[in-house]
Amino acid sequence: MKYGNRIAQLRDERKLTQEELSQKLGINRAALSHYENNRREPDYETLQRIATYFQVSIDFLMGGVQDTSRITDSNVKQFVEGLELSDQDLLDKYALTIDGRKLTVEEAKRFIAFIRADRAMN
């Protein structure tokens, strides 16, 4: 099953329209339609948002696994859901550093997305 079919299936299971899901994901409806019809592949950030929203792994979305139960550990998921990454104060309070250099907001978001994907696959 291709990624578009999986996204459409998950959306249908939750009885959402494309318009409703696209609003929840912060993308336009036309882009979602392209993804669901396998005409366009979502970028990594969009894949992560879709996986997080439906509580499945990116690997599941991309057809690598059949089991939808492969979701992020519940403790990790609860912690991540409590984070508001758009809140600059939170990112400042929990400043992430690598090699003595503070990560930018975008680097911190990519780092967290990587950890989510890694944990979802384990």
pLDDT digits (tens, 9 = 90+) for 49-68: 999 899 888 888 887 665 54
Query: Is 70 exceeded by the pLDDT of residue 84?
Result: no
Domain assignment present for residue 20? The answer is: yes
Q: Is the pTM of this model over 0.75?
A: no
Judge if 57 and 80 occupy the same domain: no
* Average pLDDT of the residues of the chain: 79
CB 59 within 8 A of CB 121: yes
- Please tell me the predicted confidence (pLDDT) of residue 33: 96
Q: What is the per-residue pLDDT across 7-17, written as a single tens digit (0 to 9) for each?
A: 999 999 999 99
**CATH number for the domain that contains residue 53:** 1.10.260.40
Task: Please give the average per-residue pLDDT across 62-91, as a whole number.
Answer: 57
Domain assignment present for residue 69? The answer is: no
Q: Which domain holds residue 52?
A: 3-61
